[in-house]
């Protein structure tokens, strides 16, 4: 049995999953209390299906019929038992177990053929479990203290014009932002600026941090012409990020391969949350830079209009659906909002 947990605030439903030898346990919590559901289907066949679905979502050329059928079957397994209790417009706070953390719930397909993102915002709570301090909730405005890191340059890094344009667009929305671009985006400069920001946006390359390193953001070297310097979870050690409300990692997947992805214990995402950040928005797979730039612009527009972080991402995802190509999950479903443990997450208000 899961530990007794506080009910999420109105407008949210928390879904906790546990993969067990003979089925899937689901605990559902909202303002009405706690409910338990049991899915008796064999676990392994569904986990194989989930892996196939993630792989298909991560490719722009995956067959549409496969995406739809896999999305509908996973929807029935993961959300079918709880959907009768949900109300359109709610935020689903998903506490996944193991490989379920890789599944983009927003791209699951309901019985009526709609994506989950058409009805619900989604965020993930990976149970980091540390006191976040006095992180103040509230809207993001043009005056929010912001750090923008855009397209660091180094030997071996290809130019990312869309990332540079994305960084410029973010700074235009937050004109008081500190911006570290190109050769100025060194590890030392970024580390100095991180503790002073309430919003941090990175647009650039991500890569490996070495064996078991959990991914890294690639920054500029101190001397021109040298190889990039990785910002890893270890590089965040000693920093107090309790002032930070949101980190946006607008880069390709920071933990590629068969690791735990965004939920890898040594991931950069988890390190930001452990150091006090309230929300992290990161990508599960390699993204199309032009689509990412458009999605980020829409995301920040909704964020500054007062939407919560998961609601702003949901609205931006929906805006990507204006044509048949944009409706493919590859172009909009990579992003995942991760938040702190529900017990330590401050309430909105």
Regarding whether 120 and 151 lie in a shared domain, the answer is no
Q: Are residues 107 and 152 both part of a single domain?
A: no
Domain with 320 in it: what CATH number? Answer: 3.40.50.1460
Q: Which pLDDT band, with edges at 50, 70 and 90, does 252 fall under?
A: confident
The answer to whether residues 163 and 24 belong to one domain is no
Give, as one character, the DSSP assignment of residue 164: H
Q: What is the mean pLDDT of residues 187-195?
A: 97
The pLDDT of residue 340 is 79
Domain-located, residue 3 = no
Six-digit token pair at 229? 């310097």
Run of H or E residues at 50? helix 43-57
Query: What pLDDT digit, counting tens, does each position of 81-139 carry?
Result: 999 999 989 999 999 998 999 999 999 999 889 999 999 999 999 765 545 554 555 68
One domain for residues 120 and 190:
no
pLDDT at 91: 97
Asked if the structure places residue 2 within a domain, the reply is: no
More confident: 2 or 196: 196
Bridge partners, 12 (sequence order): 91
User: What average pLDDT score do residues 157-175 get?
Assistant: 91
- Least confident range from 16-25, 35-44, 329-338: namely 35-44
Give the residue, 261 or 62, on which the prediction is more confident. 62
Residues 268-292 pLDDT 10s? 898 999 888 999 999 999 888 899 9
71 assigned to some structural domain: yes
Residues 167 and 67 in one domain: no
Residue-level pLDDT at 298: 96
Residues 180 and 106 in one domain: no
pLDDT of res. 258: 45
Based on the fold, state whether residues 167 and 93 are members of the same structural domain: no
Residue 250 is predicted with a pLDDT of 93
Write the CB contacts of 317 (distance below 8 Å, at least 6 apart in sequence): 106, 117, 295, 332, 333, 335
pLDDT > 70 in the chain, percent: 87
- Specify whether the CB–CB gap between 298 and 314 falls below 8 A: no
Average pLDDT over residues 318-328: 90
Rounded to whole angstroms, the Cα distance separating 256 from 259 reads 7
* Token duo for residue 93: 């706070």
- Across the range 60-69, mean pLDDT stands at 95
- Which pair of structure tokens corresponds to residue 258? 């068969």
* 289 phi-psi bin (left φ>0, alpha ψ -120 to 50, beta other): alpha
Cβ atoms of 121 and 313 within 8 Å: the answer is yes
How high is the pLDDT of residue 127? 62
Same domain, 181 and 293: yes
Chain mean pLDDT for the chain: 88
> Is 206 found in the same domain as 271?
yes
User: E strands along the chain, which residues?
Assistant: 12-20, 23-30, 33-39, 91-95, 121-124, 146-150, 178-181, 199-203, 206-207, 216-219, 229-231, 246-250, 279-283, 335-339
CA dist 165 and 325 (Å) reads 22
Tell me: do 189 and 50 sit in the same domain. no
pLDDT at 180 (0 to 100): 96
Residues 163 and 302 in one domain: yes
Residue 257 has a pLDDT of 43
Residue 33: which domain range?
Answer: 12-124
C-alpha dihedral (312, 316, 317, 318), degrees to nearest 10: 110
Residue 256 has a pLDDT of 44
The CATH number for 116's domain is: 3.30.420
For the chain, the domain total comes to 2
pLDDT, position 173: 96
- What does residue 206 show for φ and ψ, rounded to 5 degrees? -120, 160
Assess whether 271 and 174 both reside in one domain: yes
């Amino acid at each position: 049995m899961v530990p007794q947990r506080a009910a999420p605030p109105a407008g949210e439903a928390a879904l906790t999953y546990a993969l067990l030898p003979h089925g899937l346990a689901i605990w559902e919590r909202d303002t009405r209390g706690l409910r338990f559901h049991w899915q008796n289907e064999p676990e392994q066949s569904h986990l194989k299906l989930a892996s196939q679905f993630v792989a298909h979502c991560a490719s722009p050329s995956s067959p549409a019929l496969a995406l739809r059928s896999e999305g509908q079957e996973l929807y029935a397994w993961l959300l079918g038992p709880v959907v009768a209790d949900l109300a359109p417009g709610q935020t689903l706070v998903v506490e996944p177990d193991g490989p379920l953390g890789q599944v983009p719930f927003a791209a699951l397909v309901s019985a009526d053929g709609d994506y989950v993102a058409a009805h619900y915002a989604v965020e993930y709570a990976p149970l980091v479990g540390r006191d976040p301090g006095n992180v103040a909730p509230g809207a993001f405005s043009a005056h929010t203290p912001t750090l923008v890191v855009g397209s660091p340059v180094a030997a071996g890094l290809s130019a990312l014009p869309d990332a540079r344009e994305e960084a410029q667009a973010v700074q235009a929305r937050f004109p008081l932002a500190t911006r570290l671009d190109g050769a100025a985006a060194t590890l030392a400069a970024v580390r100095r600026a991180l503790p002073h920001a309430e919003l941090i946006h990175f647009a650039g390359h991500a890569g490996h941090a070495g064996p078991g390193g959990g991914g890294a953001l690639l920054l500029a070297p101190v001397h021109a012409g040298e190889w990039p310097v990785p910002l890893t979870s270890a590089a965040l050690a000693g920093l107090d990020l309790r002032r930070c409300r949101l980190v946006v990692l607008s880069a390709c997947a920071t933990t590629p391969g068969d690791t735990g992805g965004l939920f890898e214990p040594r991931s950069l995402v988890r390190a930001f949350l452990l150091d006090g950040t309230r929300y992290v928005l990161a990508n599960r797979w390699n993204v199309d830079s032009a689509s990412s730039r458009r999605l980020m612009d829409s995301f920040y527009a909704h964020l500054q209009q007062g939407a919560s972080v998961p609601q702003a991402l949901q609205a931006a995802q929906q805006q990507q659906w204006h044509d048949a190509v944009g409706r493919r999950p590859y172009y909009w479903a990579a992003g995942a909002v991760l938040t702190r443990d529900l017990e330590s997450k401050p309430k909105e208000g």
